[in-house]
Structure 1
């Protein structure tokens, strides 16, 4: 699989959604819109030039409510300083952000108020991994920013703080270039290949429009080789239960098959299956690793 990934580096160069992983020798930097609580240690920052972010805007017996913000997304994870309560940390962030004009849309304190049934998992929705404890605090709102608003979400437990910033932007189209010949070469040499540039709305099997260039390339490959038959195989990260991820991966693979059929590919040349979280290619402990594990592969029959 490593050789396949190396062969596909050129395919991925133009992706408009850019997962940023920082090497160990360098440190991630704070987001310019928000200064962290004094003494916090930034452990991870992941930036995406364009993605759909599920912002949590309500919780209760009826379930978690979200709205979707499309644009530039940044996720930062800090370790909290020792001896500081979640209340103190939250209040400092609130005061600083409201001083900059933040209008709070939703806030909650404690497990019962924020996520009484823990379904769906906040972690699976947008990467807010607050654990199983009851001492959690969360707020989200709109912050005036250049060109409009940034949507800021702050989630805190005793050990860490998550800062998520989503800034609406228009998608820069035409950035994904998938070479059908490179896909064919990898299929011939390895028997399978990851299809880059496939994006779904978080936690769903709904394909984003940004997937169209990759789907067009895969359809072109199949048209050029009328004897080729493939299985589309979906993979997920480890956020959420095993059964949930297995079902999600199956639905996502089926969605890709349907998209190829809609592009004129015969259904009897296509199969779909899902592997769920069972075949990771990267460390699920980081957002960048989880992003690599959420993938779709083409497997030659």
Structure 2
């Protein structure tokens, strides 16, 4: 009986080893990009590298550290029981966000790969805002997106293992969940017309375990790209009744559906729906008189923005009088320039929120 029991154990062990393990040990040297993956066009890849993990969102948020990660408050831990680490300086951005993970050809160091990316950034008239290496980056310098019960890593500032969609032990999963060595990081801004794109590049050498050993020692490049993109503004047009409710409840209403040519006070045709609703508001409340207050971001001098905001408010008043028949005596135009921001002027998204026209009742 004991002999038969041992034979059964050996048979089960053999079955497990021959059938189960090969389905797990599937990391290989890549010879092509994964299906559906593509470079963004903002910055080229390192020659000979292949994309093994890819994710893109038409509009999302991206946080980019601009200083080393520092320990958070005592007792502050993430969902993986890692001590939280944060940078003192960071950019929180919104736009099209793409994450690309590349396996680089063998015998290329993380530093060499990073310097090539910085060359591309310089060629695009970009500016490196932050650079670090190894322990200088803060947190656990030998951890990627995987693990808990220790310090948070630089990669975990961007995403965790639970955020990736690659199959376990695939090239993509191995590239961002194995232990790492010799990490390097750079964050840079790249001009895109009147807007700004951002690139964050982390390179490191993979210290892969059993199921990922095909990639052991290879340099990996994790590239985050933020491309400026206007959010689809579903709520820009505020109806007259909603304006009235906001004025009654909050004492004013900020409107983002009034558009001007860049750096000018010329109203664009896209402003007509919102102007029509302002006229409807005033038509429904014949006793109401309002201030029309123009606001700008902080780009440019104080005097410049004060003058621009006043001229834009005047343009709104003139359009309501000439095109919608509003009595000019019910309208007072004023410019506040950059004096009353509702968001940080340090980001494109914040500046967009600060550019607005506010309707304020005066009676």
Give the TM-score of the pair, scaled to structure 2: 0.41
Give the TM-score of the pair, scaled to structure 1: 0.49
